[in-house]
Structures are given as C-alpha cells and as structure tokens.
Amino acid sequence: MTRLSVNLNKVALIRNSRGANQPDLLKVAKDCEAFGAEGITVHPRPDQRHIRYDDIPLLKEMVTTEFNIEGNPTKAFIDLVLKNKPHQVTLVPDKPGALTSDAGWDTVKEKEFLSDVLKTFNTAGIRTSLFVGTDLKMINGAKECGADRIELYTGPYAKNYTADRALAVADFKFAAEEAQKINIGLNAGHDLNLKNLTYFGESLTNLLEVSIGHALIIDSLYYGLQNTIQMYLKCLKTA
C-alpha cells in the first residue's frame, strides 16, 4: 500500500505567524503518527518562513515513522541534512522566495551537480529522491544521477483532474511505467487531495509514497486532524 507522509509546513507557518509555539509542531507531529501517518515531511526554505532549521533536530529526535526532508540543495541545506540524517531527502529545485515548488529538476542539464549531491547523501546512508515532472528523459536522468527514487510533481494532474481525469493521469501512468522499467522508486506530491487521490493511486500501481500537507491541513479544519488522516489513508487503501 502507498504510504502517507504528512507535510507539516503549514502547521509551522501558523505557529510562526504569532511568534510563539502554538500550535506545538512536535506535538502535531506526534499526533499525526498516532493518528496513522506513516511519515513526516518538512521543507525548510532559506527564508525559514515555516519550518525552521532549528526544528529539524527536534523532529529527528522524536519522529518514529519515516522522516523526509525536502529542499533545494544549497550548502546550508546539505549540511543540515547530513547533520540530522533523515530516512529520506527529497531534492527540489525551488528558487529562494518561491511560493511553492512548481517544477521538477532538469536532470539532464543538472546531471553533474545532482550526481555529486546525491553521492554525498547516499554515502551517508540517506535514501535520495529527486522531484521531477513526467518527461521520461528526466526520469531516466534521475536514475543516471544516482537517485534511489523520484517524486512526481502532481500539480498538472490536480489542475486537470476535474475536466478529464483519465487524460490528466495519462502522462503520470507512462512515467510510473518508466520508473518501474528502470527500477527507480516512485513517490508523488503536490495538490493531491481527498477528491483526486484515490484515482491517482489506482492508476499508478507502483506508487510507494505520497507527501501531502496543504490540502490535508485545510481538510483538518473541517474534519479534525485525526479524521482527516484516516480519510487520506482510506483513499490510499481504496486505491
């Protein structure tokens, strides 16, 4: 079954907006795990507008499921990951100040750079993943760079799901088949939600993990965090 990793960035964003420790990020992480989440994801950005660098060692200490750190591999980010050694690091090519991650790596153009960074993390025993689109060249490029997994950027799928879900998922099915063919693990994330998650999971049979934050936190305002996590898990079990 596909694993659910809960992204806590929006929880940290709310906390930071008042300058105190409400909500308590560590408590929320513990609760997410207690409610069934199979992983915790964070994405520390250079401006630290949500997850802060000093959150990472505290989360590393208490997370008992899979700990996944996402981010652009700047020197500061690389040092942070190596110092705290999560189970997985997901490299994302977001520019400083980006509102959200909205594109994957050009693994052909950035092959030398990515290969060096991935080797550093792999040598440290950290599973590596590259954020990519559905272009098969980029997926094969990720394999050539030495990534253990790819994470498909699912923004286009979510955007087009309502109009024609079969068409929306078609490129992702081809991408998943290619990943399976070349023996690279498959994750996915971005704008997946209660409406579109089940169909996506049904369509990609080799999907190992989804990382969901924004939609899950919004849904928790209406359904409560425990119920919401169970609803997302049900989507994945149904798939």
Tens-place pLDDT, residues 31-90: 999 999 999 999 999 889 999 999 999 999 999 999 999 999 999 999 999 999 999 999
Pairwise CA distance, residues 59 & 64, whole Å: 9
Q: Is a pLDDT exceeding 60 seen at residue 131?
A: yes
| Active-site choice (33, 38, 50, 70) | 70
User: Distance between terminal CA atoms of the chain?
Assistant: 8
Query: Is pTM, for the whole model, over 0.85?
Result: yes
Please give the angle made by the CA atoms of 157, 158 and 159, to the nearest 5 degrees: 90
| Active-site choice (50, 151, 178, 190) | 190
Instruction: Give the CATH number, domain containing residue 64.
Output: 3.20.20.70
Examine the residue annotation and report whether 43 is marked as an active-site residue of this protein: yes
The partner residues of 131 in beta bridges, in order of sequence, read: 151
| Active-site choice (38, 43, 50, 178) | 43
Number of domains present in the structure of the chain:
1
Tell me the per-residue pLDDT of 9-36, one tens digit each, with 9 for 90 and over.
Answer: 999 999 999 989 999 999 999 999 999 9
**Which residue range is the domain that position 126 belongs to?**
3-238
Rounded mean pLDDT of 173-196?
Answer: 98
Examine the residue annotation and report whether 87 is marked as an active-site residue of this protein: no
Q: Is a pLDDT exceeding 80 seen at residue 101?
A: no
Angle, helices 9-18/25-34, rounded to nearest 10 degrees: 150
- Please report which residue ranges of the chain form alpha helices under DSSP H: 9-18, 25-34, 55-62, 75-84, 111-123, 136-145, 155-160, 165-182, 197-203, 214-223, 225-238
Res 203: pLDDT: 97
Residues 6+ apart with CB under 8 A from 13: 49, 50
